Amino acid sequence: MSLRFVMLRVVAAFFVCLPAPFTSTLGARQGGAASAPQAGGGPMKEPFGKTKDGRPIDRYTMKNARGMEADVITWGAIVTRLIVPDRAGKSGDVALGFDTLDGYLGTHPYFGAIVGRYGNRIAKGRFTLNGKTYTLAVNNGPNSLHGGLKGFDKQVWTARSVSAADGQAVELTYVSKDGEEGYPGTLTAKVTYTLTNDNALRIQYDLTTDADTVANVTNHSYFDLAGEGAGDILSHEITIDADRFTPVDATLIPTGELRPVAGTPFDFRKPMTIGARINAEDEQIKYGKGYDHNFVLNGQPGTLRHAVRVSEKTSGRVMDVSTTEPGVQFYTGNFLDGTIKGKGGKVYNFRYGLCLETQHFPNSPNSPSFPSTVIKPGQSYRSQTEYRFSAAK
């Protein structure tokens, strides 16, 4: 046996005995074994636990070179983590939620979830389509909220990494069968999250159906730009590009009126702190226990246009929301009450987060004057929303 052959054997044995690559720090957070990034620098995929009936849930992590990260799981297509740099370049998580799957499997107010088949409220849990009345679960006073008892937020979605020209992307799909939660038609929902290279989280919604149905799908993330659990959001400053809003009755169903915001606590056409008028002696404020209202966005629905700006002075973080939707539900966490412990054991108290749910209007199936939420076979429905982050110096 030649000396050269012996040396080759020794070198080969050395490489065989090398330890497996060290798992990512993200995988270490949950103790899961993280997979390698997808080809082309795509999202990282790793296990995130199992549902109560044993179905595996995965987490996808998207990153960019500017310090932003976003985690999405296949339970409810939930955004579980959103890391954004502040003015000093220090990263912080601005999305309320939980550290483990167990929190999301329990009762919570839709933290980070995709809600549907119909996000927001439908009056008295019923609507009529093509002359037939459909009955839905009533789960919010006398009304149906966010798709019913087991909406899109409580389903297992299938997911895959997809290519994106300007960042990393994950596509999640859920097929809602005919009759699920009382809705007609089998609806296929695809939601694509893209973390762009210039610090935007883009959400694209694509819906198709095999029969006439209604749908209104949105994301229900709760934001605190100072960092989740840091305190209430009353000092955040907000601008909403809306001349009108939809006033509601005592059960938070729109009356059908498109009311001008001028002269009301709902006028955010110029920057205003959220807390400035949140306790005003106003019937609409009292109904919502704060802000929990749909704003009629200016501009042409169907075109991507700026809708909302939120800023937080301590961190310098700024969030700009653009959407193709006709409306946005501005909600100030009025039903957070300190009973939920979130990430790191932080208690989420009253008004510790704000939601900006881009949408068609609540109760549209029962309001002919509102933009239609009917989807028909052969038609494709596409909506897009961007949450773009920056930091003021």
Active centre residues (catalytic): 220, 357
Residue 340 has, within 13 A of its CA and on its CB side, a CA count of 27
Angstrom distance (rounded) from CA 199 to CA 211: 38
CA 284 from centroid of its chain's CA atoms: 25
**Contacts for 293 with CB less than 8 Å, ≥ 6 apart:** 245, 246, 247, 248, 266, 284, 329, 330
Residue 183 identity = Y
**Please, where are the H alpha helices in 220-325?**
283-288
**Please, where are the H alpha helices in the chain?**
3-16, 25-30, 101-105, 283-288
How does DSSP classify residue 283?
A: H
Q: DSSP string covering 172-202, please? A: EEEEE-TTGGG--S-EEEEEEEEEETTSEEE
Angstrom distance (rounded) from CA 173 to CA 161: 12
Pairing relationship of beta strands 187-196 and 167-176 according to DSSP bridges:
antiparallel
Residue whose C-alpha is closest to residue 237's, from 343, 314, 122: 314
Give one word for 351, left, alpha or beta, with left for phi > 0 and alpha for psi -120 to 50.
left
Inter-residue contact 357 to 331 (CB < 8 Å)? yes
> Is the peptide bond between 244 and the residue preceding it cis, with omega within 30 degrees of 0?
no
Residue whose C-alpha is closest to residue 172's, from 191, 152, 151: 191
